[in-house]
Structure 1
Amino acid sequence: MIFLKNVFTIYRNDWIRIFKAPIAALLIVALMVLPSLYAWFNLAASWDPYSNTSGIKIAVTSEDDGAVIRDSSVNIGDEIISSLKKNDKLGWEFVSKEKAKEGVTKGEYYASLYIPHDFSAKIATILEDKQVKPEIDYSVNEKLNAIAPKMTSTGASTIVQQVKENFIHTVSESVLGVFNDAGIKLEEELPTIRNIEEKIFALEKEVPKINELGEKVVTLEDKLPEINKQAQKILTLEAAFPDINEASKNILLLEEKLPELDKVGEGILVLQEKAPEIQKLADGVIELDAHFADISEMVIKALSNVEDMQSFLETASGSLEKIQQGINNGKQLADTLPAFIDANGEALDAVGPVYKQNLLLHQKTADAVHQFAGLVQNGNLTEEETKTNAVALQAQVQTSIDSLTRSIALFTTLNSATPNGDEALLSEIKNLQALQTNFQQEKELLQTIQVEDKEKASSLLALSQEAIELSTTLVNRYDKQTEPAIHRALEGIKDSAQNAMNDLESAQANIPKLEEILKNTDESLAFAQEELTKLHSDLPTIEKKIHETTNLIQKNMDKVLARINDAAEFYQKSFPSLKEKIHAAASFVRNDLPAAEKDISKVAAFIKTDLPRVEEAVHKAADMVQNELPNLEATLTKTADYIRNFEDEYDLGEIISLLKNDIQQESDFISDPIVLNENSLFPIPNYGSANSPFYTTLSLWVGALLLISLLRVDVRDPEGIYTPNQIYFGRWLTFVTIGLCQSLIVTLGDMFILKAYVAEPVAFVLFSMFISLVFMTIVYTLVSVFGNLGKGLAIIFLVLQLSGSGGTFPIQVAPPFFQKINPYLPFTHAINLLRETVGGMVKEKVLFSISMLIIFSVIALIIALFLKKPLANGTRKMTEKAKASEIIH
């Protein structure tokens, strides 16, 4: 009784002193609250990090050029980019390769993904003999954060997995499609198969008749006189055999060389794939150099033709003007206009050729702009070269725009001269307007483009490509559509002029149209003359450059390159059938020709020597019938039996049903054959709530450390009233009381301030108080028994428990040392106990954790009871020596 009385006296005196000193009371309140702040701030900072990963920036760059798979264009890089734009799991940033690299280095991005230009092409190698795995380059700045690289790596792995699943789905869909086609084809051919079966069975029934036919071979001996009539033909064939044998040797030699030819063909295909543009350019330059004199002559001739056409047009325009000035009445118009048409037909006939010449010049303009845009995009021009070429091209494009305006006016006039309009002329006007609009857009870009302006260069490249296609379309349709339409319109005007007396009003209306046509044609000729004159003046320089280029090409390129395309086309289209024919011919030479030659030689020898030799040959034939025919009969019977056995064991209809399938459904199954049924036991809605057991436990130990750091564990007892054990338990009650308040504050704050999820809130609070009691007992005992050394031990225990308790990561991923000490740490069982209250309690685990914590408490109390008194004097002296340093209290 005295023991307990003294214990409670110490406890009561502690609180009386606390309440008498306001500063002390305030400090005690602070000690109750401070551990809670430690837990709350840590939980709030990491409340739900995995739901806010959209702020983790990852740079994504795709330079995938795409690929063509079975005549279909695919670009998997673009598909990945489109998919990521819809994905907000991470902060995807779509930037250039250079910016991505710089951003990762400087820490603007946590990581980067780079899809190379050959990504789709490598995936397409699945259809080739040698497959090459595509690659995605993943770079991560690991110094920025410890966890972020794991998150970004998961994102990268997800992308790769998605591409794998799509790839498997596509491949399986293709394979099942082939099976399905095979099933359909087999079903379609089923009548034919049944028909063949019936024919074999029918042939089997006809074997007796075949035997009868074989017997008739024996009667061939009776027909020898008739055979003699054909003897001369056999002799002629025998005479030709030397030539035939010589040719057959060449056939066998050719067949022997086929593997080498195959290798050559494969090499040609590879070379064609790798150097189509070089080949095309080289062939074009060499051919241009070889025919440059013809080109120069063509330019001069074209200029001469332009001048002649201008002369015709001037004459026609003058004549038409005189007609307009001199016409006073319909009779005069009827007499004059037909004569004008007859005299100036060449001027009107020039409309079409002049227009076609201008189309070729427009095509040249589009090619020039396209080449310039490519040079700018590739960074092959200096700033001065870019500016100079852009100015020159602006003028060239403007000239084409003006020419197109005249051409549109010309075709509008021609169309108006057609009574009901002409679809070909209207279509031509529409194409000309589209080309003119394109040139206007090109001109605007040329006015502002600068060196290495890749964005505008790309736009200009696309526009010029469109212009090339439009001008090519106009040139291609000229002969079959445009020229006949022009001819129809002009013929209509001519017919109207010839019938001026009968249709005076129409003839008078056509005079302005003729004038407009001649005017537009003349202006178009001016455009053609200007361009041809400029081209003619540049011909010497062009010829020199082309010749130099040709010499360089011929010096460094194999001559075979000029014929690669022809050879490749021959290898792909003609060589397979030719190879089959060569094999067939060689097979005949090896297998059939010697026998045929032998037989013919025998027959010829018979013919030349003795007729009885024929009888010998006939006997041989009869012998063949008698010996080989039974084998044929056996083979036929065996085949028929095999068909019957197959039909007995297998149902062809079932085989067809197995081959035919639902492609989409089965492809989906192959690409994703397993459905994962996720079942969350004891679900916790967020990361912060899941971490509350750890940080709550940690704050309780920290609270105990704060108390031993600021409060005394001994009691001033100068009279020696109290025993060491009474002092221990008396002050222990004070520490425990404060610890229980700490646990109440931190747990209630977790639930009501942070809104942490707790499945069993009452148990959460009670167990936290129990844990605080255990921790306070352990820490208080260490300091009470061992003094300042005990404080160090309490801190060491804290460090070990932070690493070895498995509070944030599974203990199984920790080093072996921490795994071994884990079961013996109070933190381990305290965290497990609170986890049961947060997620949902399992009775056995709760009881086990409580039992372990009780054991730790009992051990602490035993240490206190047995060591407190023996070590009291030593601890006091050690403390006094520490205080003597005037640094440690």
Structure 2
Amino acid sequence: MLRKEWKGLVHNKLLLVVVVAIILIPTIYTTLFLGSMWDPYGNLDKLPVAVVNEDRAVSYNDRELNVGKELTEKLRDEESLCFNFVDAETAKRGLRNGTYYMMITIPEDFSANAATVMDEKPEKMELAYQTNPGTNYIASKMSETAMEKVKNSVAEEVTKTYTQAVFDQIAEAGDGMQEAADGSGDLKEGMDKVSEGNRTITDNLETLADSSLTFREGSDTLRVGLKTYVDGVSTVNSGAGQLDSGAAELKDGVTAAKSGVSELSDGTGALVSGAWELKDGTGALHKGLSELDGKVPVLKEGVDQLVQGTGALADGAVQLEAGGTSLKVGVSNADAAMAELCRGLEVLRQSTDTLPDAAEQIHVGAEALAQGTKDLETGSGNLKAGIGQVKAGMEAVNGEGGANSEQLADGVLALNQGLEQLYAMLTAGGSGTPASGEAATVQTDVDVSEAKQALDVLYGLADELQGKAGELETSADGIGSVNAVSSDGLAAALEAAVASGDIELVAQAANQAVAAAQENENAVNESNSRLENVAALLRESGTALRGTGEAVSASADGALNALDRVKGQTVTTVETSQASDADTQAMEQVVTAVGKLRDSSQTLADKTAAYTGGVKAVTGNMAALENGALALYEGAGQAKAGAEQLEAGTAELDQKSPLLKAGIGQAAAGGEQFRTEAMQPLLYGSDSLLKGITSVSTGAGQVNDGAGTLQGKVPELEAGISQLDQGAGSLDQGAGTLADGAARLDDGAKELLQGSGQLFDGAAELKDGTGSLVSGTRELTANNSTLLDGASQLSQGAGAIQEGAGKLRDGSAELGDGISQAADGSRTLSSSLQDGAKQVKDTKSTDDTVEMFAAPVETSETMITTVENNGHAMAPYMMSVGLWVGCIAFSLMYPLTKYKGKLKSGFSWWLSKASVLYTIAVLQAVAMILLLHVFDGFNPAEMGRTIGFACLASVAFMSVMYFFTNFIGKVGSFLMLVFMVVQLAGSVGTYPLEISGSFVPYLHEWVPFTYSVEAFRSTISGGESIRGPVVFMIILCAVFTLLTLIEFQLRAGKIKAGKHILADWLEEKGLA
């Protein structure tokens, strides 16, 4: 059974293809599904995210803070996601339609909130983001994970900014404390000086108290001195006024000098610019003269050519003068022709008055023509039908291929030959006498008479047929000659005449159209009449031809029979009878009759020839007549179409004739205007042109003479150019010297301009000072009386000063004690501030310090196993599913319950099937791993163990399928498909058991996928031992293999005993 099973599989090509396809099912499941999600986390840099930056920079600690800009610049270098920096509207639209999976918005107060960290109520920085899970839930979750990284990055950067700001403030505080310490030292020194000053004040107050008496006495002396001072102030005021006037004059002069110096500076600047331009120009001149010197030979050649050309010019001038004379004559002729044209236009304009009436007549004639062509078309159609009927009749009379006419001609020819022979015999046998002369004579007379009658009938019929044939031929020729005049050319000529606007052509075309219409109408009538005659003639001829044919045939037969009888009887009479007078006379009559009959037969032969010729002519003319009728029918259609076009054209002519009349009037007026405004000036101008041409001719001679003189001066020009070249070199050197001097002059002018500005400022200040001086002296003069009054009051206050000086001395002593205490406190403050400033300065920040404040914690990950990507992580799950589905497919497609050959035993039956299905199980496992490696890059840590366990799992799964399919048929396969869904839920192939559904722990330990997924994960990542899953798969395979063997043994026993089995019932129900 085993050999037959494999032989049946190998020879069943279709089943072999199915088996190969089943082997590839796990590969298809894994490679396609895993390939679609092989490394999504490695491709997050392709996940599009929109970033909208609305942040505005702010000032923080005297520097710009723009966190939004810094964040976007950092995100541009990030590869965690595909960041797209767009506006808000584009981002929202892209989030809705799936272009972007997340939208990050940096609000406009992002930096402003960052700057509130030291405020009483700081504002948190809000980084808004939006996702659209409905587009793709996994993508939104990935985006949220990446958003946490962005958030931490922003927090780290902002913390760095804060830390740097704090350290900057600490540094500033240290500087402030140092300044305070320095200030406290200054304060200490100041207190010492204050103490010392206080002692000095105390001593001076002692002196003041003692000197106050002396001051009082000195106040009187002051009053006398002030009187002298007042007088001097008046004198100073007068001198200050004079000084102010002079300062004003000085300022005006300096202003004028400054304006002149400015103009000088502008002039020197222009001089420098012009000097350099002069130098550039002299350089270019020198270069150009050098090039010109090199071009003198070319100039010389050109002058020679010019001399030759001026000679030709002189000759051409003579020809031009002759042409001018011809032009004048032509213009005169053109003017005369234009005058003639104007007269013709005027005549044409007068002729157009009758154009509308003529157009109306043409239109009426065209309508009649159109109606006539319609009748012509109808009649020509009838003619075609009649000719067809006549042709059919002629063919009936003439026979097929002219057989009847040929037969008639042959019969007449035979009659003529027989009569010739009879006549020869009669004339040759005249000496003999017939045996029974009376009987012979009677019979001969009777036969001759019949022959003569037949000959007369033939003669008459031949003449009648010949006449009718001639008449028919004449009628056919007449019909063929009738043809309507084509109106195509007339319509085209009429349209061309209307388009040209020539009234004579229009009138001529209209007359031709009317005549053609009348002619076509007559032709149509004549054609209709002749068609009717021809039709009647053809009908009559057809009838006559049929009767004539029958008569001729009968007469010819009778005549021939009679002649035969006459011939026989005459011969007999000649041979048997004896000559007698009566017989001789009778014989003579016979001879005479035969002679007449012979002559008549000859005439009949000629007429018959004419008849057959006529028939042939009529038959031949029938084709021409038929072609002529067809041409007439087609010509009638063309004539109808042309008549309709002519009718439309005449209608258009009738409508546009007023426009034509108006156009001709305008053309006549324009022609006269053109002759007056254009031709007359042209005529006058031709005279001037002729005079100018004469002048040109004279000038051409002078040019020719001048060209000769120029040719002689070329050597002098060459020498002059050389001298100019040398002078240009010297001029170029002088221009350089001039440019240098102008530059120095310009520098001096600028210094002079600057000095003049300073002089102007000084003069202005002097003027302001003298003005202030005048004002001051005036105030001094005005305050003289007040000063004198104050001196008196000073004298009075001197006494009060003496009294207050004593009090100040006492207070100064008390102030000295307080200053001593303050000095001690300042010493303590200075020492403390100095120590604090030193400690703050010793506190310094580095980049590492700032980094520590911003990110004090780092994570360190150690992976005890390695999974390259998401494809390797999902492979255990999908490989289990692929193998399970492959086993289900094989159990459905392969006939597991059918055996080959004779049923030996249940074990043999099981073995024959098991050898195939376990082989397929191993092959599909090996193919799945290897092709997954080839197409998706699957590289497990332990490739051999992965392949081995895949084969074991596939065999175990196939054992389960083998049992259930063999036991309950398709129902078993269906149950295994449902059980696969249960395994997908309970095997935790995607999420951990702890976060899966509440029912999953109850399934987890009882489904085969749990162990296959665990084993595959271990072999792929290089993890723990797979001993447990291997033992489970072996037990699973052994249990279901044993159950299958038992089921096969029981089934084989029932089959051998002839009992019904469950498979039979399932097959009846279509479930096997």
- State the TM-score, normalizing by the size of structure 2: 0.38
- Name the structure where helix makes up a greater proportion of residues: 2
Query: Greater RCO between the two (CA within 8 Å, min separation 6)?
Result: 2
Which protein shows a greater Rg?
Answer: 2
- State the TM-score, normalizing by the size of structure 1: 0.46
